Structure 1
Amino acid sequence: MTLDSSNEVVAILYDIENAPFEMLNYTLGKARRYQPCRTIVVSDWEARPEQKRWEKLMRRPGFTFRQISRTYQGKNSLDSAIYDSAKLLYDEGVRRFFIITTDSDFVRIAEYLNSDTPSYIIGVGTKQASETLRNAYDEFFVYPPEEKEKKTTRKTKATTVKENDAKQEKTAKSAVKESKAVKPAKAAKTAKVAKKDKAEAAEKTAKSVKAAKTARTAKSQSPVVNLPEGTLTVNLPRTLRQSLEERQTAEGVSMDELVTYLLMRGMARWVED
């Protein structure tokens, strides 16, 4: 919903008893963006202080200041008079309103202005305005403006982001530096372990070769003759073994049988002697 048609009227309902001059002046500045709409400012102007700034304000071009009449005096008399004026403007076809107050009693005025054909209502009040009052409007402006505070907040946020980025960059550089320092040490340690493993493997291989060689030498130098179970195992010299093998071939017997025969023969001679 827009407020830029020259055929429409914008009405400003001003609670002069609860909203200071500065708040009205601020609202008139906001309302100028909707001109050349006719702008009617409604309040009890006879109750305003006789000061030059009021007179200057009420001479501003483009604004009509309408006096309202109170039907009775006392508490809430101005609220009631503004309510009656709002109904009259609504019946005249006005559907664009500013309401200047922090008084939650004005919620009923906003409800009436949306009772049949909805109106577009902009509220202006202090930060103490209740959520009920704020929610009754389509827009709500806080007075005094919080632009300075918002700028400070944005600046603080930007500073925080910048600090976080710098911190992350510093952390990344430290990680890279540590990585560069650790990498050579890790490589040296890995090389040392690999060298040790290689030496151990070579030593193990050498021992295996030596053991195999020793076994082969012992087998060739000291042949073993296996006798029947219960007998002794005798290591024979090479020349004697060759003689035995030749006689074994000539007699056509096994080595065990030949050795047994020779031993028995030797024992028999020993007995005879």
Structure 2
Amino acid sequence: MTLVSNNEVVAILYDIENAPFEMLNFTLSKARRYQPCRTIVVSDWEARPEQKRWERLLRRPGFTFRQISRTYQGKNSLDSAIYDSAKLLYDEGVRRFFIITTDSDFVKIAEYLNSDTPSYIIGVGTKQASEALRNAYDEFFVYPPEEKKTTRKKSVAKEIAEPRAVTEKKPRAKKTVKAVSDETAEKAMKEVTAPKSAKTAKTTKAAKTVKKVKEASLEEGILMVNLPRTLRQALTERQAAEGVSMDELVTYLLMRGIARWVED
């Protein structure tokens, strides 16, 4: 089967024997950067029939899961089968690849994918991946992702040099009878006009807040939509079935709809 175009297909080569299901799920989320497109995930799915999660994964929308055939059984048989599948995809015109493994033997696959017309290869593996394997890719993601810790350092010398300022209290001047009377009258006037002023200020503040939110939404590319209850419920059920976030599901559906609209 010949694929439509190398720009419309992304292939994921999955070393199912050495990479857990969570690493594949992590890679699928990274592959969304190329959608709308056709995504083919290649591995020996029948080798892990005890994993019930594969059945749910096979029903994931927007992805094609291709079963590979091993020419022999034993050590490195899966590596050889994935290599053959990579060659087939490369010959079909695919030039975007994800490779999920920490095995350095997959370096030769990356080298083949760049042998004639260069491919864009993204690797996903653990932090134990060798430098040779990392350097064979255009990008490399470590799984699980390492959290960036931010520490706030204080300069003791600066705090000593710049001590906190001490506010001196100044004695208050005694008020005269006339001043007190004028102040009382002014306070009474403020109390009368306070409710109206507060209400006006609150309304003005709310209007400014709405305006800022709309401007921020336009600048950041955020689309705010009020969904009917039935549609919201359907999206929630679809989200639970697919095991993705609401943002990922809505983004996928919008991108697929836009792609179909462009094709029409």
Same fold (TM over 0.5): yes
- Rounded to whole Å, the distance in 1 between the matches of 2:6 and 2:108 is 29
Equivalent residue of 2:65, what SS? strand
- Rounded to whole Å, the distance in 2 between the matches of 1:107 and 1:6 is 22
- Rounded to whole Å, the distance in 1 between the matches of 2:104 and 2:6 is 32
2:9 equivalent to 1:20: no
The one-letter amino acid of 1:85's match is: S
Q: Deviations over 1:210-267 (max 9, x none)?
A: xxxxxxxxxxxxxxxxxxxxxxxxxxxxxxxxxxxxxxxxxxxxxxxxxxxxxxxxxx
2:24 equivalent to 1:30: no
- Quote the residue 1:122 is aligned against: 122
Do 1:6 and 1:36's aligned partners in 2 also have CA atoms closer than 8 Å?
Answer: no
Mark the CA change 1:173 to 1:45 in structure 2 (over 3 Å): closer, same or farther.
closer
Higher helix fraction: Structure 1 or Structure 2?
1
The one-letter amino acid of 1:117's match is: T
Equivalent residue of 2:162, what SS? helix
Equivalent residue of 1:32, what SS? helix
Q: Which runs of 5+ in 1 are unaligned?
A: 175-273
Alignment of 1:57-96 (within 5 A): 57-96=57-96
TM-score (norm 1): 0.56
Identity, % of aligned positions: 87
**How large is the RMSD of aligned CA atoms in angstroms?**
1.6
Do 1:6 and 1:35's aligned partners in 2 also have CA atoms closer than 8 Å?
Answer: no
Q: Deviations over 1:31-53 (max 9, x none)?
A: 12211110000001110233332
Give the deviation of 1:6 after TM superposition: 9.5
Do 2:96 and 2:121's aligned partners in 1 also have CA atoms closer than 8 Å?
Answer: yes
- Quote the residue 2:200 is aligned against: none
- Quote the residue 2:133 is aligned against: 133
- Quote the residue 2:249 is aligned against: none
- Runs (4+) of structure 1 exceeding 2 A deviation are 49-52, 167-174
Q: Which runs of 5+ in 2 are unaligned?
A: 164-264
- Rounded to whole Å, the distance in 1 between the matches of 2:93 and 2:44 is 22
- Rounded to whole Å, the distance in 2 between the matches of 1:15 and 1:173 is 59
The one-letter amino acid of 1:129's match is: A
Which residue of 172, 189, 205 corresponds with 2:161? 172
Mark the CA change 1:37 to 1:73 in structure 2 (over 3 Å): closer, same or farther.
same
The one-letter amino acid of 1:94's match is: V
